[in-house]
Structure 1
Amino acid sequence: MNLLEAQHISKRYANHEALKDVSITIPTQSIFGLLGPNGAGKTTLIRIINQIIVADEGQIRIKDEILQPKHIADIGYLPEERGLYKKMKVGEQLIYLAQLKGLSRSEAIRRIKDWFQRLEISGWSEKKIEDLSKGMQQKIQFIATVVHEPDLIILDEPFTGFDPVNANLIKDEILKLQEQGKTIIFSTHRMESVEELCTHIALINKSEKVLDGKKQDIKNQFRSNTYEVSHVGNLNGLNLDYQLIQQENIENDYLKSTVQIPETVSPNELLLELIPQVEVHAFQEKIPTINEIFIAAVR
């Protein structure tokens, strides 16, 4: 089942086409990576989903209904830009934002206390926003995004300002939210986070969708039958049709070779050719990273 479908979305600003006939499908309980270079159209699509702006063409469907104002309560949005009132105290601000999403004051306080414990910021209620670091402000924005327990959570560069410890803390909470049945749209330039978290991805470039689908399926599309071999001894050539893409001298006779073979040749055949020549210490297929796929698709 799909939580959200964007169908043939287009958006223009004067002479600039921000989105051109973009369609994506976001499965329920997925972590969906929305990727693309700066200016590709990602933020425009996010703003259309949040009903901040309206598409010129196409429609958004959420829970199999056309997107309507009532669906705002089903969405939590963490924008890339800071959106907090600097002079307000943390507790007052979060209660106010939770009440805007329909929570009673008592329920808001209960949930906020729970999130304070989960994010290790108990005792921050009386601090002013302006007295917090960028990373700590981001924790407050994260709580404001999820406190009303929306079905769809949109995170735009959620790790901005975090040190590695706090970034891991937020990653763990994102995964817990997914386990609880939430669907997450995750927009970032940090490809290592996409590798760790996302189940599905879509890449937008120059206002158009370039590719989308399950992350593993997309990685499989970009496989090139390339293998990395760590070995001792010189590789003097193989009887197979192959290409030695790279060879790196690690230490003395210890080498790492990257070898590409045709699709008709199996890994076992490659190994059988290697074993008489060199002492094999490691052998694995080189699966392309999301970063490599991103660069290849954008180029």
Structure 2
Amino acid sequence: MSDLPLAVSHLTKRFGSFCAVQDVSFELRGGEILGFLGPNGAGKSTSLRLALGIMQPDEGQSRIYGAAPSLKNLHRVGFLPEERGLYKRMTARNVIAYFARLKGMKNSDALTRADELLERFNLSDFRKTRISRLSKGMAQKVQILSTLAHEPDILILDEPFSGLDPVNQSDLELLIREQHARGASILFSTHVMEHAERLCDRLVMMASGRKMFDGSMQEAFSLLAHKVRLATLPERDLAAEMRETAFEVAPLQVEEDDAQRVWWEVTLPSGATSQDVLTTVIQKGILIEGFDPDERRLRDVFVSLVSEAEQKYGAMRHG
């Protein structure tokens, strides 16, 4: 049996002439946090439903610890669906305990666990409050706690930050780190790149129903050209002096209030860092008058891949 918590291979799902997911493969490795990224309508939620056996693919397969999804191995999974839904007449405590029992916990243990979680997240005062009387944010926190009450080996969270205010988003990030620390393998989908940047070991990016990227954060950043701005004294021709190096150098327009310096844009080759530029310039004996690294962000990679997917595959999804 495979020790991979989750592995999907060549998943395809069509709804009539619309192809929601096309030939998607990825895996969730043991003890990692995987970011499943993509814009709205990219096919993320459909892919997760296919992975868990909630929907059946037209092609491809999914495996949880080496076996097809079943009641037995799904007990090891905690799943937060994109469409939130709780029993509105039940209390917060009873909802959490109910979902824990569905995953195999005894009633007394489930109630104790519900109390622990509600206290941990400052919801003890609302333990006997019906879901219908909770705020939207509180109800969502209860549903998240219901997802992990049985301490699953795998946590799959579909847009878990949606609808939460910044304070509760921060609390959820802490909760994800806590679950990871106890050994859970975690996959969460999002279209907010900042959460992924702070939390993820690895990323899968979806767009137009297809997987566009699968790798580490550093590998994602390497997809974009990295540039820095560097200033020298006017008498130095940095482009000429760097001609024999791996860096591409071009002059930038000089601002009127900065006439004592010349600014250059340096494009770095794949794998090079800002420090490599500084080292090369210093070795050539060039005095640096200013330095401004262009910090790449995950959102830039995301926008680039989404645009590429729309151009290549956008029309193809509709048959």
For Structure 1 versus Structure 2, the TM-score category normalised by the shorter chain is: 0.7 to 0.9
From the superposition, tell whether residues 256 and 120 of structure 1 become closer, same or farther in structure 2 (CA, over 3 Å): farther
Indicate the SS of the match to 2:125: coil
Matches of 1:222 and 1:155 in 2, distance apart? 27
1:134: which partner in 2?
Answer: 136
1:147: which partner in 2?
Answer: 149
From the superposition, tell whether residues 270 and 142 of structure 1 become closer, same or farther in structure 2 (CA, over 3 Å): same
Matches of 1:24 and 1:68 in 2, distance apart? 19
| Cα distance, 1:117 vs structure 2 | 2.1
Indicate the SS of the match to 2:98: helix
1:294: which partner in 2?
Answer: 302
Could you tell me whether the CA contact under 8 Å between 2:99 and 2:147 is conserved in 1? no
Matches of 2:131 and 2:89 in 1, distance apart? 6
How much is the aligned-residue C-alpha RMSD, in angstroms?
A: 2.9
Indicate the SS of the match to 2:299: helix
Q: Deviations over 1:99-155 (max 9, x none)?
A: 122111110111111111221212211112122222111110111000011111111
Indicate the SS of the match to 2:124: coil
Could you tell me whether the CA contact under 8 Å between 1:228 and 1:256 is conserved in 2? no
Could you tell me whether the CA contact under 8 Å between 1:226 and 1:258 is conserved in 2? no
Indicate the SS of the match to 1:51: coil
Indicate the SS of the match to 2:82: coil
Q: Deviations over 1:62-106 (max 9, x none)?
A: 112233232221111112222112222211222222212211111
2:122: which partner in 1?
Answer: 120
Matches of 2:183 and 2:254 in 1, distance apart? 46
Could you tell me whether the CA contact under 8 Å between 2:101 and 2:107 is conserved in 1? yes
Between stretches 233-242 and 13-22, larger displacement belongs to: 233-242
1:207: which partner in 2?
Answer: 209
Letter in 2 for 1:227: V
Between stretches 191-200 and 120-129, larger displacement belongs to: 120-129
Matches of 1:206 and 1:197 in 2, distance apart? 25
Equivalent residues in 2 for 1:131-280, closer than 5 Å: 131-219=133-221, 221-229=222-230, 237-238=237-238, 239=240, 240-241=242-243, 242-244=248-250, 259-261=265-267, 263=269, 266-267=276-277, 268-271=279-282, 275-276=286-287, 278=289, 280=290
Indicate the SS of the match to 2:116: helix
Equivalent residues in 2 for 1:18-57, closer than 5 Å: 18-57=20-59
From the superposition, tell whether residues 162 and 28 of structure 1 become closer, same or farther in structure 2 (CA, over 3 Å): same
For structure 1, the 5+ residue unaligned runs are none
| Cα distance, 1:177 vs structure 2 | 0.6
Structure 1 counterpart of 2:98, from 89, 96, 99: 96
Matches of 1:48 and 1:42 in 2, distance apart? 10
From the superposition, tell whether residues 245 and 104 of structure 1 become closer, same or farther in structure 2 (CA, over 3 Å): farther
Q: Deviations over 1:11-66 (max 9, x none)?
A: 11111111111111211111111111222211111111232211111111111223
| Cα distance, 1:189 vs structure 2 | 1.0
Letter in 2 for 1:62: I
Aligned residues: 293
2:74: which partner in 1?
Answer: 72
Could you tell me whether the CA contact under 8 Å between 1:35 and 1:187 is conserved in 2? yes
| Cα distance, 1:256 vs structure 2 | 12
Give TM-score, length-normalised by structure 1: 0.87
Q: Alignment identity in percent?
A: 32
For structure 2, the 5+ residue unaligned runs are 308-319
Matches of 1:226 and 1:290 in 2, distance apart? 15
From the superposition, tell whether residues 136 and 276 of structure 1 become closer, same or farther in structure 2 (CA, over 3 Å): same
Letter in 2 for 1:224: A
Give TM-score, length-normalised by structure 2: 0.82
Q: Deviations over 1:175-229 (max 9, x none)?
A: 111111101111011100010011111111111111102222222x325242245
